[in-house]
């Protein structure tokens, strides 16, 4: 069996150390010169190994007097089904590391896409709210919310959300990979055109869509996971088998 290239083996060593928490977020790795001596390889081999770890998001390189190579802060795992907007915050007592800031709260002329979603004809004014959600003080989610004039649901500003309005019964999320635009990048503190995850969300009361939002996820802070019930997995497996047998 052929031996692994040295740079692959070195990358695996540090990957395992991070997985076993021998190295944790913010820990500084030895310098390239020290790694050359430790592993008895060329400097280019060490750099290749570090390039792999950086591309995987395990380490980051910092310049300057206090620079070096550090274990990168790993994003927090969040169940995609539990990412809530203003509505969820209004109905729960969220405390701890999660906070939010409302950046805008105004009435605007609805964009064409929003008019189509809400089936607006005569009344084309909607309430628009822009929010940034923070985890451990870091910008994690940028949310742009549009409220249908039929909802009559007040935006939660620290008070109750059960005043005159329609009760939300369910929602529909479409999750897509994307690149950040300038406004999102400025709020999330990331370079423009950074890879992000975008959630297009519709909130319904019965058959009526009462809110539409786009949620941009900062992948350096949040990593989405999807959890499903065992019954759903079994049903899905059965459907797949039926399709295979029918084809």
How does residue 227 score in pLDDT terms, banded at 50, 70 and 90?
A: low
Which structure tokens are listed for 213?
């939002």
User: 59-93: per-residue pLDDT in tens?
Assistant: 999 988 888 999 988 777 777 766 664 434 433 44
- Residue 81 DSSP one-character state: G
User: 9-64: per-residue pLDDT in tens?
Assistant: 999 999 999 888 899 888 999 999 999 999 999 999 999 999 999 998 899 999 88
User: 164-194: per-residue pLDDT in tens?
Assistant: 456 778 889 999 999 999 999 999 999 999 9
Give the count of beta carbons closer than 10 Å to the beta carbon of residue 151: 20
Query: Is 0.85 topped by the overall pTM?
Result: no
* Angle (nearest 5°) at CA 61 between 55 and 63: 150
Burial of 73 (0-12, 13-18, 19+ CB in 10 A): middle
Mean pLDDT of the chain: 81
Exposed e or buried b per residue across 74-97, where buried means at least 16 C-beta atoms within 10 angstroms of its C-beta: ebeebeeeebbbbbebbeeeeeee
Say if CB 14 and CB 30 are below 8 A apart. no
């Amino acid at each position: 069996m052929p031996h692994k290239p040295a740079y692959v083996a070195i990358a695996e060593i540090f990957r395992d150390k991070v997985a076993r928490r021998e190295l944790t977020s913010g820990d500084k790795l030895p310098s390239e010169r020290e790694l050359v001596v430790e592993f008895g390889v060329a400097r280019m081999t060490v750099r290749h190994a570090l390039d792999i770890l950086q591309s995987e998001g395990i380490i980051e390189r910092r310049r300057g007097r206090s620079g070096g190579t550090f274990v990168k802060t790993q994003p927090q795992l969040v169940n995609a089904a539990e990412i809530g907007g203003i509505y969820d915050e209004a109905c729960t007592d969220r405390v701890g590391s999660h906070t939010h800031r409302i950046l805008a709260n105004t009435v605007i002329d609805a964009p064409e896409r929003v008019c189509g979603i809400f089936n607006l004809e005569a009344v084309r004014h909607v309430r628009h709210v822009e929010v940034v959600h923070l985890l451990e003080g870091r910008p994690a989610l940028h949310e742009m919310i549009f409220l249908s004039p039929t909802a009559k649901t007040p935006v939660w500003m620290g008070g109750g959300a059960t005043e005159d309005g329609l009760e939300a019964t369910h929602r529909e999320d479409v999750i897509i990979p994307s690149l950040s635009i300038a406004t999102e990048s400025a709020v999330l503190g990331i370079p423009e055109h950074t890879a992000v995850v975008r959630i297009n969300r519709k909130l319904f009361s019965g058959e009526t869509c009462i809110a539409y939002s786009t949620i941009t996820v900062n992948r350096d802070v949040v990593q989405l996971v999807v959890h499903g019930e065992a019954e759903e997995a079994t049903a899905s497996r059965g459907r797949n088998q039926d399709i295979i047998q029918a084809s």
